[in-house]
Structure formats: structure tokens, C-alpha cells
Structure 1
């Protein structure tokens, strides 16, 4: 039996909680046996420096949490993907070009129930000497109020490429519309229908072949937004949201992404699903944090050990459009076909088999660690780094309770440092 070594690179910004958890658990996984070989997988935090385009990277896979706003590592990721076949979570090719606007367009064509959405020109022109002439010759005047009235109030004004809820405004009437538009400056904005009277707001976090659909409460502070609620959706709706999430990720080759969906009655309306750096903070996910680390650990090991082909610049969107354009299939039939294509892309069955054999010890390893004083020390340190001193005791007790619930549900008793 031969030995093989694999290196996972972590491209990070300000995060410490989940990287430390990932690094700790990866260090405890030990050798992975697969395909007649013994595989040793380790990780390293990537530093940022000048690079020669002919340099050979040492990484088999990179988890990217930085390139969506920091251009030096973004261009390095493009280079290592194009020239060196490094596997990327996520691909900057599509996150740079296929932001929320393009994602809406693609999903509308595929028949997904995206709310009515209109792109409007920016309020203030871009700084370009050619703009005045071009605008005078080709820009047509438009009635913003009429566009909004056609959509209907209330509605949302939101950046076409935005994230983290920046620049998102709920518009109730014409006066508020004009004020928000005047304040939008040079940003291109969408006007989007508001799904009034929705029953549930679901946020689904997808990591590779796994998806967790969570009951999201956007009006709550961050530590309370993810409710611990297991049966908040009808089973069919839950499966529909998993399918939509996986379809979006397979279509754009995104493997670490979150999707927000409003559920009204029996209909699911996705409203946001292009998050290049989705929230996986311990103080946000709490109860769901162990699952997220487990999924990231298993997926990155699966990809590196099996030599999965990332195909970051080979999107093959035609396969999905061929389904979306068929008039003989209704919505449910299209969803079923999308799920088949997405599961095929993410190798769901192969992934499950790999986890059940080569990584069969990881669930117990994870439970043992999350139950330990070592994890509690990570939790306590994260609370100290996140909240002011007078709130430390309150939040430590809160998060110990929520993570402790996850531990106790699996038959263990959590320890404290």
C-alpha cells in the first residue's frame, strides 16, 4: 500500500473560530485509507505575497474566505486553478462574473420562483469622460415610480451584487423609494418584489454534498438568528429548498454557499444565493457549528483524497437549460431532474460511501472533541474576542447551552475548561 500526502490551504481574513476547529479536527483524523493507498491530509494558512505566474503551488485544495474582496489572492486563485488544477472552494471565476444579478437570471430561466426583479440604472453616473455623450445619445429616460408601482409596494431595493445585507432597503411608498434611490449613488440596484405574508424564512448552508436548512430570523441579533428548530418546514418543502440550494451550487460550481428562501404556503421563493463567504461563525451557528465543521472537513478530505475534478472553468450550463426550457415538464418534474444533475455533480452517493468507509470514525471524533474542555476553551476565547467584557458571562452561558444541547442529544455530557 502506497502513501500519498495532500495539503489544504486556508485563505482567511479575520476568522479564528472555525479555522481553529477545522485544523484541530483535521489533525486528529489521522491517515485515510482509500483506493489501495494511505492518504495523509494536512492544512496550512496561506500568506499573501507577490507570485510568479509559473510558480507551482503546494496546495491540492484551497478554502477561500478572502478573495471576494481582496484582489491579490483572487488573482492567485485564478492562476492556480487555470495552470495547476488546484481545487477551489469557491471559484472566483463565477463569483466575480456571476453575482446575484446573473444568479437571479439563471434561476428564473430554470423556472425557480424568484420574486419579480428589475435592474435600474445608477442614480449617479460613473466617473468616465465618455458617459455624458453616451448617456445623451443612448440612455432612455425612465419613470422609477412607475416601475415600482408595477412591482407593487412594499418592495426591496438592493445592490445587484451585494452581500451581508449592505444597502438593502425595504421600500413602503414612493417617497421612501426616491430617498433610497437618491442615496444609492453609483451603485447599481435591483427593485425586487417583497414576498409579503411569508410563513418561514429559511437559510440553507451548503458545503459540498451536504446542506443544512435552518429556521432563520433576520430581525433578531446575530446570535439569535438561527433558531434551533428541526421540523419548521413540511418535508416536501425542505427537500425543495435542498434541491434549489444544490442546483444553484452545481450550476455555478459553488461549494461553500448559503441560500435564503422565503416560504409562503406551499411555495419557496429564493431571494439571495450568491454568498462567496457564508457565515460559519461559532457565535452565529452555535448548535449547528459542529455540523458545519464536520461537513467542511469531510468534503475537503473527500475532494483531495479521491482526486475530484473541480471543473471551475467548465460550467456546462447547457445541461440545466435543456431541462429548464422543456415545456413538457412541470415545476416538480424539473426540480427532480435538477436534483439528479446536481447530485451527480456533487457525487452524492460516492461521497456518502466514502464517509461511511474511509471517514467512519469522524462523527465520533467530532462528538468527543465538541464535548471536551478543549472545545469549551475555544468557545470561551471566541466569546471574549467577540463581545465586550460585561457580556462575556451572559454569552458564554448562552452558547454553552446551545452547543451543549447538540452534545447531549448525542448521548454525551459537555465539559468546561
Structure 2
């Protein structure tokens, strides 16, 4: 009889082929037998698929589930709600309900983060409401009052950005420079409640993706025509190491970790604008389903996959329990009150909030686990990302994303070229020789 205890990692990501395939591939490639506190655990990845289930007594064998997309599917959504008490959910269905731009802006402003002036504005067009046979307009519209959009524009200031309150992917985001453009944008977006937010004259646009306590700042080019080009440094340069000074790098990591701990988000991205005076302004940070495709993230992609694998394994093996939603709100608000009484600086407040966030994510325990239980993870991960199996994921991702076959050869060359540079950087960091890589590939072929 085996003494090993099986721990199952469930993976659901129906809309991001490359991330799901690479994560599954990495988890199968590494040593999945882990010794922890006198016990041996076998990590078993399993894909979550759509199937009927008995609502009365729904169960799952998964110790932890990566949930990317269930909020769009009521069938999965209700199942995950049912099994939440018995399985750690990334992200859980309660925290998904808190993904709201306005509440997050307000809460983080209260904590003292540098949120630009922001107003929430009702929708301009109610025609869909008027056409509905389920609504009595006579009961609804007396509760709406007229307002002066121009006055709001003056208070926020120009230039500013108008964007849907529940939007994403830069859809319907409009820059407005004056009151005429403000009115045009408002009536163009029409049937969606919007935010009006003061533009920041920024030096650096940073997007930080967090997975548990692991933060990954990436440079971001919001002006790129296509979303798959936005993580490139420029048209000529894919990546720039050290694009942020060390102090700013630390700050944007702490900001994101604080936000994620506050809302109990294991996986989220935070967009931050660093202005010419070095002030960091979070502008969009309720994104619990961040873009994770290799065609977007290119150089950064393997690091995100590795971060998710480490966090999933840590949860599954240690039996980490999900904190309750809003569990750390009181602690952070007490820090805010203490800071106001004692006249703390912004940095002092940020450091104190970050300590609470590290407690929430068990950062010390996680780092110790990675050092001791995942001692060979980095080298094993390198060999996976250097394998033909991952090379084929890049190729298939290109063919899935780009719709015109004549584009595929150049696009594959582009993404594989960037990935080969990542491999080069990793070889230098880990002191792996090319001979070792060739030997590993030969062994993999023989095993196959």
C-alpha cells in the first residue's frame, strides 16, 4: 500500500489555450512527489471539464482549483460556489463579486494610495430599459436626477479618460480633452455606466500581475494598436530589464500585493502609472482574469506560469486555508488610523499595509516551502520551457490567435525568437550550459 497522499490541482481556463496548456505541461514535467512535514504528497493536475453534476451533495476531489472564467458560465459558477467550503478556489466566487472599479478606487483612496480624481456617472441611454416589458419606467425614472456633466468634467480636470465601469480590454475607453469631447464620449458609450478619471502625465506605464505573494511588474504600452503588442517595450525592443528603479519596483509590487490581500484575490493584475515626479498612481486593479496568453506576454509568459505552478503546489501540499473575504480590512483600516494620528509618511503606511498582505499570503512560509520542497523547480521548469512540447504550444497559440495563415511563419519566428532570449537569460541565471539542454532534450525524446 502506498504511503503517498494524492493532492489534486484542478485547472479551468477555457479561453487561454497557451496558459492552460503550459501550466498543465509544467506540472506534468516537474517532480510531483513532494515530502512535507514527514509525509509524501503526489501532485496530480486535472483539467476541469463541463459535465452534469448532482446539485444535492456536489463534491470535488480537487484540493485547489484555478478558476479562470467561471464568472462567465453559470453552470461552473454555481458548482464552484457549492464546493468552495471544501476546496481552495483561485479566485473564489465571493471575491469575484467584489471586482468593481468604483469600490476598489474608493477603498484604495481611503488607504492612502494615489488614485487619480474619479467620478462614477450613470448611463446616458435608457432605451433598452424603456423597451423592456419587465420594467415600469414610471417607478424607475423618478429616482434619477439631472446632473451637470460639464461641471463634473471641470472638477475632474482635462485631459481625462471616460471608460465603462465594468469594462475591460480597453474597450470603449475614450480620452477627452474638453467639454465637447466629454459629451461626445458620454453619448457614444450610451448604455453603460461610466467612470471619468483624470489622466496622468506618466513616465512609465506598469502592469503588475500577482499570484499569491509573487508580484511580476511588466512594462506596458497602452498606445500599441494591437493588444498582443502592448507588452513589447517598443517596435524594435521586446524587453527592457530594470525599466524601473529598485525603489519604484518595490513600491508597485507592494501596491499590488496590498490590493490583492484586501480583496482576497490570489490572481489579479494592477495597472499603475508612474508620473514624472515618481508618484505611482493605480488606475485599474480589479482584473481577476488578466490576459495570460503567450502571444501577449511573450518574454514574461514563463514566469507567470511558474508563479502559478508554485502557488498551486504550495496550497495543495500545505493545505492552506482560504482567508475569509474582508478578513484583513479592519487591520488595514487600523493602520490608516494609526498613520493619521502619528503623521506617518506614505512609505511608512505602505510598508505597514504590506506586512499585513504578507501575513495574508503566508509569504515567509511560501518562500521557505519553495526553497526546501521545490529546490529543483527552477531547473526543471527551465528544461520544460526549452522542450519541443512547449515550442509546439507557441506554434499552436500563434495559429489560434492570428487568423490569417500567411502571418503564421513570421509570427512564430517573432515569438520563438523572444522566447529563445528568455532561455538565454535563464541559462545565465541558473548556470545551465547548452550541452545540458541538448542532453535533456535527447533524454525527453528517448523517454517519449
Q: Deviations over 1:227-251 (max 9, x none)?
A: 3122111211111100000000000
Q: Deviations over 1:257-287 (max 9, x none)?
A: 1110000022000001111211111111111
TM-score normalised to the size of structure 1?
0.94
Superposition deviation, residue 183 in structure 1: 2.6
Q: Is the 8 A contact 1:6 1:41 kept in 2?
A: yes
Change (3 A) 1:367 1:114: same
Rounded to whole Å, the distance in 2 between the matches of 1:97 and 1:298 is 26
Q: Deviations over 1:317-351 (max 9, x none)?
A: 11111112331222111101011011111111111
Superposition map of 1:13-412 within 5 A: 13-29=14-30, 30-51=32-53, 52-81=55-84, 84-125=85-126, 126=129, 127=132, 129-136=135-142, 138-196=143-201, 198-220=202-224, 221-226=226-231, 227=233, 228-264=239-275, 265-313=277-325, 315-326=327-338, 327=340, 328=342, 329-387=344-402, 388-411=404-427, 412=433
Q: Is the 8 A contact 1:101 1:161 kept in 2?
A: no
Superposition deviation, residue 38 in structure 1: 0.8
Rounded to whole Å, the distance in 2 between the matches of 1:73 and 1:129 is 29
Superposition deviation, residue 203 in structure 1: 0.4
Rounded to whole Å, the distance in 2 between the matches of 1:352 and 1:5 is 23
Rounded to whole Å, the distance in 2 between the matches of 1:149 and 1:210 is 40
Superposition deviation, residue 308 in structure 1: 0.5
Q: Deviations over 1:36-71 (max 9, x none)?
A: 111111122212244314222111111111123222
Q: Is the 8 A contact 1:100 1:273 kept in 2?
A: yes
Q: Is the 8 A contact 1:93 1:312 kept in 2?
A: no
Report runs of 4+ in structure 1 exceeding 6 Å deviation: 414-417
Change (3 A) 1:11 1:374: closer
Range that drifts further, 325-334 or 109-118: 325-334
Range that drifts further, 260-269 or 176-185: 176-185
Q: Is the 8 A contact 1:100 1:162 kept in 2?
A: no
Q: Is the 8 A contact 2:116 2:283 kept in 1?
A: yes
Range that drifts further, 144-153 or 300-309: 144-153
Pairs aligned (count):
413
